[in-house]
Amino acid sequence: MSSDPHALLRELERDRLTAVTRRHFLRDCATGLGALALGSLATPAFGARRLDFTRPPSSPLAALPPQFTGKAKRVIYLHMAGAPSQLELFDHKPDLKRLDGKDCPASFLEGKRFAFISGVPKMLGPQFPFHRAGKSGTWISDRLPELERHIDDLCLVKSMRTDQFNHAPAQLMVHTGSPRLGGGASLGSWVVYGLGTENQNLPGFIVLVSGGKTPDGGKSLWGSGFLPSVYQGVQCRAKGDPVLYLSNPEGVTRDLRRRVLDTLDEVNRRHHAEIGDPEILTRVSQYEMAFRMQMNASDAMDLSRESADTHARYGTQPGKESFANNCLLARRLAERGVRFIQLYDWGWDSHGVSKDTALNDGFAAKCLEIDRPIAALIDDLKARGLLDETLVIWGGEFGRTPMRENRAGVEMPFAGRDHHPGAFTVWMCGGGVRPGFSYGETDEVGFEIVKNPVELRDFHATVIHQLGFDHHKLSFPFQGLDQKMTGVKPTRVIDELIT
Amino acid sequence: MSRPSSEIPSSPWWTLVAVLPAVLLGALAAPWPWLPAALGRLHPVVLHFPIALVLVVALLETIAFVAPRHGPPRVRLLLFLAAAGAVTASACGYLLMRGDAVEGALADRHLRGGLAVSVLACLTLALRLSRDFAFRTGLRRAYRILLAATCAVLMFAAHDGASLTHGEDYLTEHLPWRQDQAKLPALAFPVQQPVGNWEMYTDVVAPILSQRCASCHSGRQAKGKLALDTWEALSRGGTTGPLFVAGRPDASLLVQRLELPLSHKERMPPKRKPQPAEGELALLRAWIKAGAPRTGTLATLGLDAALLRSAESLPRAFAAQESEPVEVDDTAWRQAVAARRQTFAPALASAQARWPGMIEFESRDSADVRVNASLLGPQFGDADLAALAPLREQITWLDLSGTAVTDQSARTLGSFKALRLLRLNETKITDDTVEALSGLVQLETLSLFRTPITDAAARTLASLPRIKTLSVAETPMTETTRRGLTRP
Amino acid sequence: MPAALVPRLSDPSARHRVLTGLILLFLLLSAGCDRDRRSVSAKVDFNRDIRPILNQNCTSCHGGVKAAGGVSFVFREDALRKGESGRPTIVPHHPEQSELIARIVSTDPEFRMPHVDHGPPLAPEQIDKLRQWISEGAEWSEHWAFVAPKPQTPPSVADARWNRSPIDRFIRARLDQEKLSPSPAADKATLLRRVSFDLTGLPPTPAELAAYEADLAPDAYERQVDRLLASPRYGERWASLWLDLARYADTKGYEKDTERTAWTYRDWLVNALNRNQPYDAFLIDQLAGDLLPEATLEQRIATSFHRNTQTNDEGGTDDEEFRVAAVLDRVATTWSVVNGVTFSCVQCHSHPYDPIRHEEFYQFLAFFNTSQDADYVHEYPNLRVPDDPARYAEANALQQELERLQLAVLEPARRLVAETVWSGLPVSTVTATPAASFRLQDGEVQQTGTVSTKAVFDLTAEPPSAGTTLTALRFEVPPIDAEKARHSPEPGFIISQVEGWRIAPDGTETPLDFQRFVLDEARSPAAPYQKPVPPKVDPAKPAPAAEVKPAGPPPVPSTFSANPVLDRTRWMVGILRAPLALEPGTRLRLRLSHGRAIADRPAPAKRLRLQATGDPRWIDLGGDRRLADQRARSEAIILALADQPGTYLPVMAEQPAEERRETRLYVRGNWMDKGGPALEPGVPALFPALPEGAPRNRLTLARWFFANDQPLTARAAVNRYWEQLFGVGLVETLEDYGSVGEPPSHPELLDWLARHFQFDLAWTVKALLREIVTSETYRQSSRVDAARQERDPRNRLLARGPRTRLTAEMVRDQALFAAGLLSGKMAGPPVMPPQPAGVWQTVYNGRDWVPSPGEDRYRRALYTFWKRTSAYPSFLTFDASTRDVCTVRRMPTNTPLQALVLMNDPVYDEAARALLRQARAEAGPEAAPRDWITRAWLRVIGRSPAGPDLDALVRLYEDALRLPAPPETSAESAALGAVGAALLNLDAALTK
C-alpha cells in the first residue's frame, strides 16, 4: 500500500465504491434497470466536449467540417403536405382488403383521438393492387411505376410515428421536432448551422413549394427557431424573383448596380477607417455576396437551360409552379452545393370529402404528378454520381387510418381516410442509407406498429448522423441549455437503416 | 394431440398444475404493486426443479428403454412435479419480466422457451397419465418423442436463461475452442534472439494481427470475409478490398481503419475492444512502407531504434493484455490528426486563401481534405489544379465538375493518389485522362457524366481496384460497355 | 497487506488498535493538509466558485430534469440527502464522508464523476474548491438574481464630469479599475441621431439638427431629450419592442392563420407608453386589468396582452389541446416578460438548474387556467371596442351592465332549480334518425357508437307517478366521469333544439307548450353582441319546399350546449306555459335535434337524464315580468353595442367561481396525463410569498410581481431598457437571469438602477430613459480604436458609446422619413404596404395581401399587417420576430439578403428616388448636384458629408448619367435612384 495518506484514502474510497457500485450494477441488471441506467449514462451532457460552431461574423454561413465523415453531404427532402396514404402506396395489407366495409373493432378505437372520425367507422381496403418489385422484392402498389425502377435503392421505414394528428402541428413536428409555431429550429436550419453552405453565392437551405399552397405549418417549417435567423430556409419561387428581391428594380441595370456598389464600398471603407467598427467590413462583404447571388441564384433557378429531353423526363414546364419543376430545380441546386433542399407539395389530404380528396381520384392524380419527377431526380443524381452523398427523403407528416372516414358521423361520399399519427411510411434513398430495405412493421391492417417503431426524433438523429454529426453534439446554447433538434427524450440513430 | 383420459381432470394433481400459475399470475391484479415483482424473484428458486426433474425422468425412461426388463419406471410423480415446476417457473418468470420490466429479444425468447417447456411437459404428463398408456404403443411412442422434445427445448430455454443472468458466452467461455478464438495461437516470440533478427512478418506483424484482429478476422470467424491468420488470407483481403498497398501505408486500408477515431463506425478494432498501442501501429506502418514482405528481419528491413524497442516490448505488452475492453480516449488520435494537419498547414492555408470556401477538411476528426472546384465552374482550370498539387497526399475528395480542366491535367490528376472520390462531370477530359487515373487505387467513386470518354476508357475503369460507384452516363461510351462496367 | 501483519491482526484487540491508529493518522494528516489549503485560499463563495462547477459538470444529470442515482444539486436539502448509493452526497464539514468527493477523485472510469462518457475529470483546483467548500460547511447561497437588489452607493470618481450621474460613477469606476479611459463625447450630430432613434425610432430632421447645433446652452441636449420624450413618436418606437414581448400579431396562427382584430390593443399600447403610464400599472393592466375594481375599457383592452396567444382553427383539432397550449404560453410569457426566468422548462420536470420545482409550475399555471377562452374560432370572450375613443366609457358601461343583467336573469332559475323537488323521469325508449345505438340505464340515455352531426333523438318517458301535474322539465347532461372531467374535460355537446309531445293513453299526441328554456350558464360562449344575421337566401336556389313544417307556432329557441368541452353536469329547464295534468297512462315524447359539430366532430350528448316537477313556481318564473324586462334590456344592449362602429377584441375574462377548471400537475408536461391533487394557485417558494389573505387570482399575482422585495421585476425592466439603448444588456441574456444566464457586467449598477427605478422613480419609464440617455456613458463617441477593440471587443465595459444596427422597423421608417414619404397617421387597423406577389399562400385562408391605398402605403412599420405564418418579408430579413411566441431579444445579423432587400425592394427603390427628388426640389432649380446630394445625405445620415464621400456620390451621379439607361426609365431618374440607393445602403445609414 502506498505511504501517502491521501492516496491511501483515495484507494480505500475507490475500493468501497467498487464494491458498492458492482453490487448496484448487478442488482440493477437483475432487476432490468440496468438497461435504463446504461441508457442514461450514454447521454452525453453538459460538461462533455462541445463542438465549436463559431464563425467569423462576416461569414455566418461559412462551411464547417462535420464532426465525423458523414455519408451524406446534402439532403433533398420531398414532403407531401397533407400526408399521403401509406396503405395505398407502400404498406401492403391484404387482410385489410378482406375487412373492407366491416365495422372497425372497438379495440382499435379505445383511447384514440381522431381528427374527423367519430363513433364506429368502417374499415377501408387498399384501393390499389400491390405487387413485389425489384430484387429486394419490396411491396409497392401500382401507383408509382416510375419510382419502382429505383425500388432497390429505396430504404423504406414503415413504422414511423408521431404524436400529432393535425396537419400544422404534425408538420412542425416533422421539420422542427416541436409541434408549436416558434417552438424549434427546422432540420434544414440545424444542418446549415452545423455545416454552413458550400456555395457562398446561394442560400444553404432552399425551400420550394408546389401544389398551390404553402404547407399548413407555414414558414415556421423552415424557420430557424432559436438559431440565428441566417440559418432559416429561403423560399424560392417559380414565379417572379426566385429569391425575394433578387432582381434589380425596374430601371436599374447590372452595370449601374455595380457602380453603386463601388461607391458604397469606397465610402464604407473610409467610414471604417474613421470609426473602426469591424461590422462595417462585414457589411461590405455581404453587399458583394448579394451581387454575386443575383447572378448565381437566377442561373440556378433558370430551367430553360435544361434540354428538351430533360423536360420530357421530368414532365416540367418552365415558368410554371409544379412539383416536377421543383424536382428539377432540386437537382440543379444539389449540383451547385446547396446543403438542404426542401420541397413541399400540397394536396395529399385524402379525406374523401370531394373528388380532389378521394383516394381513387385526386390521390391517384397526385401520384401521377410526383412519380415521374421523383424517378427522374434519382436518375439524374445517379448519372452525376451524386446519389451516394445526397440523402433523398420522401414522406408526409403522419399516416392515414385503415378506417374509412365518417366525418360528422356519416360516410364520406368518396373513399377517404382520416389522419393517423400511429403509423406511416417514409422512404430514404442515397446518402448512405441501406438500399432495397424495408424497416419496421405494422399490424395486419396497418394501424399500429408491431415491430421497430421509429420516433421522429430517431429519424432526425439518423439524418443528422448521415450528415456527420452525433445529434447530441449538434447543439446550440440557448436559455441556459444546449438545445438539440432531438430534445431530451431518449433517442437513437437507427443503425439498421444505414450502411 | 392425444385426448387425455377422462379421469385426468378430476385428478387433484392436474388441478394443481392449472391453479398454481393462475394464482401466481393473479398477483398482477392484486392491489399491492410490489407483489408480482416479489413473487417473480422466486423464478431462480423454482426453475431448477423442472430442469432436474425432466432430465431425471428422461434418464429413467432411457434406462427403461435400453433395459426394459425392469418394467416401466415410476415416473408419474416426478413428471407431475416437473410439469408443475415448469409451469410455476414460467409464471414466476413472467412476473419477473413484468415486475422488473425486463425486455429484449433474448428475454422474449427465454419466455417463449419457458412456455414451450411448460406446454410440452404438461402434454407429456397428460400422455403418461392417459388410461390407455399401458396398452397402446402409439401413445408410448408419442410420449417418448414428447419427452425428448421437452428435454431439447428445456436445454435451449435454460441456456437462454443462463445467458440472461450470466452473459451470452457464459456456457462456452471456458471451452477450449472458445479460448482459441479469444487468444489465438499462443504467441511465441523468439525472445532469446536479438530483436534485430526477428522476422518482420512472422514474429512481429502476425502476432500483432493475431492479438488485435484475429478474434473476429480468422479462419474460424472471418467478418467481412477477412481473415488475418494466414499469409494467404491476409494478402487476399476482404470485402472492402486488399488490405494494403505495398510501400504506401497511408493508402492502405489496414492502416486507415486502425487510425480512424474510436467513435467512427468503421474504426478497427471497434470501440470497446482491446486497442493496439501506438508502437504496434508504427510497426505495421513500417512493414507496409517496406513493401509488406513475407520474409525479412527487422534489421534487414532497416527499422529504426524506436521501432525496434516497440517490437521488443510486444511480448510483455501482450502478456499483460487484459481481456476486458479498455476505455481509450481519442486524445491520441486527435493529436495524430493535428500533427498530420500540421505537415501541410501552410500549403492548405494558401490554397484556402486563394479559393475561399472551396477547400475543407473532410471532418473535424480527419486530416483528409475535400476540394469542390465545381463551385467555381469554368473559372477553375488546369493551372489551378496544378496549384493544388502540394496537397495531393491529402486530397481524398475532388469535384471538378463543370470546370475547365482538360487532358492537360491528366498527369496531375494521376498523382493525386489519395483520392477516394473524383468527379469530372461535364468537363472536356477524354480517355487519355482516364488512363492516367489507373494508379488511383483508393478511388471508390468516379463520375464521368457527360464527358467525351469512349469505350477505350473501359479497360482502365475496370481495373480500378476499389471502385464502388462509377458514373459514365451520357458519354459516347456504348451501352454495352457501360453496362459491363456498371454491373455490380 | 504485508504478510507479517496477518498473525497480529488475527487478534481482535490488536486489529482494533491498528485501525484506530491508522484513522488517527489520516485525520491528523488530512487536517494538516486542509489547514495548509485554507491558509492559501480565501473562503469559498458558493455562487462564485461552486455553482458554476456544479452547473457545468453535474446538473444536467443530477439536477431538476433527472436526478441520476437519486442525486440532485439544485436544492441544498437534496444535495445533503442520501443517493441511491445509500450514502449522503454531501456531509457538511466532512468532505471525506461525502460521496461527491469520493466520486470526483476516483480514478476508476466506472465510478468517477463526471462519467467518462460525459466529460473529463474535474480539474484539481475544482476538486480542491469543492473539498474546501464542504469543509467549510457546504453553505448554499441563492443565485444573485433570486435575491432582491441591495442598496448601492455609487462610487466616487475623480473626473468631475463623470461624477455627476450615479450611472456614470459606476461605469467610470469600473473603467478606472480596468485602466481604461472613456471616449470623448460624441459630436452633436451623431448624438442627436443616436438619441432620436433610441427615443422615437426616427432620425432627426435637418431642421432639428440645425436647431440643436445652434443651441449653445449647457442644457441644450437635455432639452432635445425632453422634446423627444414628449413626441408621440416615442410611443410608437417603444411599442415595437413591447409587441415582440406580447407576441402581438394580426392573425391567429397555426394552419389557417386567419385574421384577428387585435389592433386596438396595439393602439392602447402606443397610448399607454406616450402618456408615460408607470411600468407597474402598465403591466398590472395587461396581466389582470379585467379584475381591477371598476375596470375601464382601456384596462380591459390591455388584457388582450395575453390573448395574443395563438388559436388553432384547423379542422379536426382538439380545442382543449390548444387552449392548454395557450395557457402554457401565457405562463411562459409572463415569466419571460416580467422576470426573465425560463419557466417553460418546468412544465415537464423541475427546473434543470434553478431551484423551481415541477409542482410549482402548475400552481402558477392555476392562475391562468380559469380564463374563459377555449380556442374558439370566434375567440370568445371578446370586448366590443368602439372606433371612437370618446365612446369607450359608454361601451364599457353597457358591457358591464350586460354582464350583470345576464347574471341577474340566471340567478332566480339557479335558485329555483336547487329548491325544486324533482322526480326522475325514466326514459323508456329512444331512437335516432339517422339510426344510432343507445343504452338505457336507470332511465338514463347513454349514447354509444356512431352518430351523425344532424342526428335527431326521440325519447319517450313515462312519468313514474300517475295523475301528477307538470310545470317544468329538466334536461341534465352529466360527464361520463364527473370526477375526472373537472380537470380533464370530455368532448362537449350541442343540442340545438328541444321539442316535446304529450302522448295520451289513446295514442294522440299534443305538443308540449314550452314558454321558455332556462340554462345554467349566463352566456353561451358564442360571439356576443352581434346582431342576428338573417339567413342568406340564394335567389338562384328555390327554397326547399319539400321541408315539412309542423303545424303551429315555431318552437321556442332552446339551444343547450357545452362547447367545446363538458367539464361538469350541465342542465337546462324547459318551463311550460301552463301546468299540465298528466292522467295515468300518459307518456311524454321528447325530440332533441343536433345540428352543429364541435371541431368537425358530431357533438351529441353522451348521457342524458330527464327530471320533472309540478312546482307551480316555475310557471311564475317563466312569466316573471322583471326577468322579461331584464332580458329585453340585454337584447337592447347587444343591439346597441353592435350598432356602435367598432371591433371585437379578444380579452381575458375569468370563469365564474362555480365553473372554474381544476388544475393538476401534468405528468412529464403531458396535458393528457394529469396527476396529484387539485392545485391551488401559488408562486414558487424561491420568490417572495403572496400577500396573506389576498384572493388567489391574476390580479393578486400581477400586483405581487411589483412587491417591494421582488428580486427580478425591476432588474429585468431596467436591463431591457439598457439593452435597447446600448445594444447589450448589463445582463446579456435578457431571456435568462437564472444561474446559467450570463452574470451582469456591472452588478452594482444593475441593482442601483433597479432600486432607483422601483423606489425613487416609482416605475416611471420616461424618467429612467432620460437619466440613462443624459449620462456621459451614453453620450460617448462610438469610435473604436485598436486598443479598446483589443481590450473589450464587445464594449461590455462601455469605454465608448453604443453603435448598433437599426431595427427592421427603423430601417423602413428612416428610408420613408428621409424621402419625405412617411405618413404621420397614428392608430387604426393594420396596413399592407406593397410586398411581392405570392408571398401569402396559406391553406384554407381566403385573405389576400392587397396593398393599401394612399398614405397607408407609407405608414410606420409598426402598423404593418403582421401575419404569423408569413410576416412582412423585409422585416424578417432584418431579424424581426415572427411573433409566434414571446421574443425577449432579437439577434441582429448581417446577411446578403439584407442587401437585396435594401437595394431591390420597390419600397426602398421608391424611397431612394423620392429622397433625391425631394432634396433637389428643396435646393431649387439652380443648385448643383453637389448641393442637393449634400442635402439628401443630411436627411438620411443626420450630418453633412465629408468631402471625399460627397465627391464619391457626385461621381456616382455623373457616371450614372452617362451609363445607358434601360428603356423603361430615363438616365436622370436612374442616376437619382442610384445615388439614393447608395445613401440608404451606407453603413452609416444602417446604424445609429
Structure confidence by residue, pLDDT tens digits, A275-294: 888 888 888 988 998 999 89
Same domain, yes or no: B315 and B198: yes
Identity of the highest mean pLDDT range in A98-107, B19-28, C391-400: C391-400
Residue B6 domain-assigned (yes or no)? no
The Cα B264–Cα B242 span in angstroms is 21
- Those residues whose C-beta lies under 8 Å from the C-beta of residue C629, and which sit 6 or more positions away, are none
**Residue that is last in its domain, among B328, B350, B375:** B328
User: Quick check: is C452 in a domain?
Assistant: yes
CA distance B177 to B193: 31
pLDDT tens-digit map of A120-166: 899 999 999 999 999 999 999 999 999 999 999 999 999 999 999 89
Q: Give the rounded percent of residues in chain C with a pLDDT score beyond 90.
A: 56
- Which residues, other chains included, contact B102 with Cβ-Cβ below 8 Å and sequence gap of 6+? A32, B96, B164
Total domains present in chain B? 3
Task: Give residue B6's pLDDT band: very low, low, confident or very high (50, 70, 90).
Answer: very low
C898 and C878 in contact (C-beta within 8 Å)? Answer: yes
What is the Cβ-side half-sphere exposure of residue C187, based on CA atoms within 13 angstroms? 9
* Cell numbers for B452: 467525351
Q: Are residues B472 and B365 in the same domain?
A: yes
Q: Which residue of B has its CA nearest to C120?
A: B329
Q: Identify the domain boundary among C791, C812, C840.
A: C791
**A38: its cell numbers:** 446504461
Residue of B425, B423, B406, B415 whose CA lies nearest to B388: B415
CB contact under 8 A, B473 and A335: no
Q: Clarify whether residues B193 and B125 are in a common domain.
A: no
Are C164 and C48 in the same domain?
no
How would residue A243 be classed by pLDDT, with cut points 50, 70 and 90? Answer: confident
Report whether pLDDT(C94) > 80.
yes
Residue C187 lies in a domain: yes
Q: C32 pLDDT exceeds 50?
A: no
Question: Do C49 and C167 fall into the same domain?
Answer: no
Position C19 scores a pLDDT of 56
Question: What pLDDT digit, counting tens, does each position of C170-221 carry?
Answer: 999 999 999 999 999 999 999 999 999 999 999 999 999 999 999 999 999 9
Cell (9 digits) for C112: 468517477
C377 falls in which pLDDT band (50, 70, 90)?
A: confident
Element (H, E) at B179: helix B176-182
Tell me the three cell numbers of residue C48: 462564485
Q: Cis before residue C109, ω within 30 degrees of 0?
A: no
Please, which chains are in contact with C (at least 3 CB pairs closer than 8 A)? A, B
Chain C residue with CA closest to A283: the answer is C894
Contacts of residue C252, defined as CB under 8 A and 6 or more positions apart, other chains included, come to C258, C259, C260, C310, C311, C312, C313, C379, C868
| pLDDT tens-digit series, residues B168-224 | 556 665 665 554 444 444 466 777 677 778 888 888 888 888 878 876 777 655 677
Residue C65 has what pLDDT?
73
Q: What is the mean pLDDT of chain A?
A: 86
Look at residue C346 and tell me whether its pLDDT is greater than 70: yes
pLDDT of C702-748, one tens digit each? 999 999 999 999 999 999 999 999 999 999 889 889 887 888 999 99
Do B102 and B188 share a domain, yes or no?
A: no
pLDDT tens digit string along B274-283? 778 778 888 8
Residues forming beta bridges with residue A346, ordered by sequence position? A81
Better pLDDT: A31 or B287: B287
Q: How far is CA C970 from CA A252, A259, C933, C953, in A?
A: 10, 17, 19, 19
What single-letter DSSP state applies at residue B270? P
Give the separation between CA A327 and CA A367, rounded to whole angstroms.
14
DSSP state of A220: G
> For helices C124-135 and C12-40, what crossing angle results, to 10°?
110
Q: Are C353 and C341 in contact (CB under 8 A)?
A: no
pLDDT over threshold 70, residue B7: no
pLDDT digits (tens, 9 = 90+) for A289-328: 899 989 889 889 989 889 999 999 999 988 788 999 999 9
B117 and B243 share a domain? no
Query: What is the spatial distance between Cα C565 and Cα C485, in angstroms, rounded to a whole number?
Result: 9
C-alpha cell at B398: 475532388
pLDDT of residue B183: 41
**DSSP annotation of C163:** G
Within 13 Å of residue C379, how many CA atoms lie on the same side as its CB? 25
Tell which of B111, B136, B166 closes a domain.
Answer: B166
Q: What is the DSSP letter of A129?
A: -
DSSP state of C149: P
Question: Would you state the torsion angle of the CA atoms of residues C691, C693, C694, C696, taken in this order, to the nearest 10 degrees?
Answer: 100
| Within-domain flag for B174 | no
Residues B319 and B376 both lie in one domain: no
> What Cα–Cα distance (Å) separates residue C44 from each residue in B445, C36, C96, C129?
60, 15, 18, 7
Are residues B472 and B347 located together in one domain of the fold? yes
At C657 the three-state DSSP class reads helix
Q: Do C529 and C600 share a domain, yes or no?
A: yes
Dihedral angle sign, alpha carbons of residues C955, C957, C961, C965: positive
Sign of dihedral through CA atoms B42, B46, B51, B54? negative
- pLDDT score for C193: 96
Name the band, by pLDDT with cuts 50, 70 and 90, for residue C988.
very high
**Amino acid identity at B9:** P
| pLDDT of the residue at A37 | 31
> What's the Cα-to-Cα distance from A457 to each of A175, A454, A493, C65, rounded to whole Å?
10, 8, 9, 19
Q: Given an 8 Å threshold on Cβ–Cβ distance, is A287 in contact with C740? A: no
Query: Cβ distance A289 to C896 under 8 Å?
Result: yes
Tell whether C249 is covered by a domain: no
**B213 lies in some domain:** yes
Least confident segment among B222-231, C189-198, C939-948: B222-231
Query: Which residue type, as a one-letter code, is found at position C71?
Result: V
B425 pLDDT exceeds 90?
Answer: yes
In a domain, B2, yes or no: no
pLDDT digits (tens, 9 = 90+) for B291-310: 888 888 888 888 887 788 78
**Nearest-CA neighbor of C201 among C809, C983, C990?**
C809
User: pLDDT value at position B485?
Assistant: 83
- CA nearest to B361 within chain A: A65
Average pLDDT in the A419-447 region?
95
DSSP C281-308: HHHHHHHHGGGSTT--HHHHHHGGGGG-
B264 part of contact set with chain A, CB < 8 Å: yes
Residue A359 scores a pLDDT above 90? yes
Q: Cα-flanking dihedrals φ and ψ of residue A179, to 5°?
A: -80, 0
Looking at residue C667, its pLDDT comes to: 86
Rounded alpha-carbon distances, angstroms, from residue B303 to A153, B285, B288, B291, B311: 49, 11, 12, 13, 10
Q: Are residues B353 and B259 in the same domain?
A: no
Shared domain check, C175 and C122 = no
- C74 and C218 assigned to the same domain: no
**Residue carrying C-alpha cell 439532403:** A75
pLDDT-based confidence at residue C551 (cuts at 50, 70, 90): low
Looking at the structure, tell me whether residues B369 and B400 fall in a common domain: yes
C476 and C613 in a single domain? The answer is yes
Last residue in a domain, options C106, C141, C176: C141
Q: Is the peptide bond before C114 cis (omega within 30 degrees of 0)?
A: yes
- Residue B152: other Cβ atoms inside 10 A: 12
Query: Do residue C438 and residue C563 come from a single domain?
Result: yes
* φ, ψ for residue C41, nearest 5 deg: -110, 145
Residue C270 domain flag: no
* Cβ of residue A245 closer than 8 Å to a chain C Cβ: yes
Question: Are the C-beta atoms of C611 and C425 separated by less than 8 Å?
Answer: yes
Q: Under an 8 A CB cutoff, do C315 and A289 touch? A: no
- Domain enclosing residue B53, as ranges: 12-166
CB contact under 8 A, A277 and C26: no
Decide if pLDDT at C579 tops 80: yes
Q: Which phi and psi (to 5°) does residue B289 adopt? A: -55, -40
Whether B215 and B120 map to the same domain: the answer is no
Q: Are C88 and C186 members of one domain?
A: no
DSSP letter assigned to residue B414: H
Choose from B78-92, C258-272, C432-446 the range with maximum mean pLDDT. Answer: C258-272
Give the count of beta carbons closer than 10 Å to the beta carbon of residue C828.
14
Average pLDDT over residues C861-878: 92
- So what's the pLDDT on residue B99? 67
In angstroms, rounded to a whole number, what is the distance separating the alpha carbons of residues B22 and B41?
A: 17
Query: What is the Cα–Cα distance from C706 to C284, expressed in whole angstroms?
Result: 9
| Interface touch B364/A388, C-beta < 8 Å | no
C132 and C214 in a common domain: no
DSSP conformation letters of B190-205: -TTS-GGGSBIIIIII
Contact B244, B255 (CB under 8 A): yes
Quote the CA–CA distance of A403 and A415 in Å, as a whole number: 10
Residue B275, SS3 per DSSP: coil
* CA-angle at B475, arms to B469 and B476, nearest 5°: 135
Query: CA-CA-CA-CA torsion for B418, B419, B420, B425, nearest 10 degrees?
Result: 180
**Cell digits of residue A134:** 425489384
pLDDT digits (tens, 9 = 90+) for B234-261: 888 877 778 888 888 888 888 888 888 7
Residue A75 pLDDT: 98
pLDDT of B340 higher than 90: no
Q: CA of B272: how far to CAs of A344, B267, B268, B317, C118, in Å?
A: 43, 11, 10, 18, 16
- Which three three-digit cell numbers place residue C204? 432627426
Cα–Cα distance measured from residue B38 to residue B16, given in angstroms and rounded to the nearest whole number: 21
**Closest by CA position to B128, among listed B69, B68, B75, B81:** B75
Predicted pLDDT of residue C668: 82
At B384-413, the pLDDT tens digits run 999 999 999 999 999 999 999 999 999 999
Q: What is the pLDDT of residue C31?
A: 47
Of B113, B140, B166, the one marking the end of a domain is B166
C843 torsion bin: left (phi>0), alpha (psi -120 to 50), beta (else)? beta
Q: Which of residues 234-253 of B touch A (CB under 8 A)?
A: none
Asked if residues C474 and C575 have their Cβ atoms less than 8 Å apart, the reply is no
Report pLDDT for B222.
66
CB contact under 8 A, A69 and B366: yes
Mean pLDDT of chain B: 81
What is the spatial distance between Cα C130 and Cα A326, in angstroms, rounded to a whole number?
60
Interface of B with C (CB under 8 A): 327, 329
Q: Is the pLDDT of residue A30 over 50?
A: no
Cβ count within 10 A of residue C203? 26
Q: Which of residues 58-117 of A touch B (CB under 8 A)?
A: 62-70
Same domain, C530 and C607: yes
Whether residue B323 has pLDDT greater than 70: no
For residue C841, being part of any structural domain is answered with no
B2, pLDDT greater than 50? no
* Confidence class for position A204, pLDDT limits 50, 70, 90: very high
Q: Cα separation of C170 and A232, whole Å? A: 40
Q: Could you tell me which of C694, C111, C7 has the C-alpha nearest to residue A22?
A: C111
> Per-residue confidence at C899, pLDDT binned at 50, 70, 90?
very high
In the predicted model, is pLDDT for residue B37 greater than 50? yes
Answer yes or no: is C378 within a domain: no
Q: Which of C601, C623, C645 is the last residue of a domain?
A: C623
Q: Which residues, 6+ apart, have CB-to-CB distance to C533 below 8 Å? A: none
Residue C678 CA to residue B450 CA, distance in Å, equals 72
Q: Does A7 reach chain C within 8 Å, measured CB to CB? A: no
**What is the predicted pLDDT for the residue at A23?**
35
- Per the domain annotation, does B300 fall within a domain? yes
- Across the range C921-948, mean pLDDT stands at 92
Output phi, psi for B194, to 5 deg: -65, 145
Contact between B406 and B386 (Cβ < 8 Å): no
Q: Do A385 and B445 touch (CB under 8 A)?
A: yes
Domain assignment of residue B125, yes or no: yes
Comparison of pLDDT for A228 and C193, the residue scoring more: C193
Chain B residues whose CB is inside 8 A of the A195 CB are: none
Q: Domain count of chain C?
A: 4
Q: Among B57-71, C3-17, C811-825, which is the least confidently predicted range?
A: C3-17
Q: What is the mean pLDDT of residues A79-96?
A: 95
CATH code, domain carrying C470: 2.60.120
State the residue range of the domain holding C53.
41-141
Interface pTM, i.e. ipTM: 0.74
Selected for mutation to probe chain A from C27, C330, C439, C450 (highest A CB count within 10 Å) is C450
| Chain centroid, CA A295 distance in Å | 29
Could you tell me if residue C33 is inside a domain?
A: no
Say if C892 falls within a structural domain: no
pLDDT in tens, C281-293: 999 999 999 999 9
pLDDT of residue C970: 86
Mean pLDDT of all residues in B420-442:
94
Average pLDDT value for residue range C864-881: 90
Percentage of residues in chain B with pLDDT exceeding 70? 83
What gap in Å lies between CA C608 and CA C825, rounded to an integer?
57
Based on the fold, state whether residues B321 and B374 are members of the same structural domain.
no
Beta carbons within 8 Å of A309's beta carbon, 6+ residues apart: none
Instruction: Compute the nearest-CA separation of B432 from chain A (Å).
Output: 20
Does residue B4 belong to any structural domain of this protein? no
Q: Is B171 within a domain?
A: no
Share the mean pLDDT of chain C: 88
- B297 and B402 in a common domain: no
- Which range is most confident: A153-157, B46-50, C617-621? A153-157
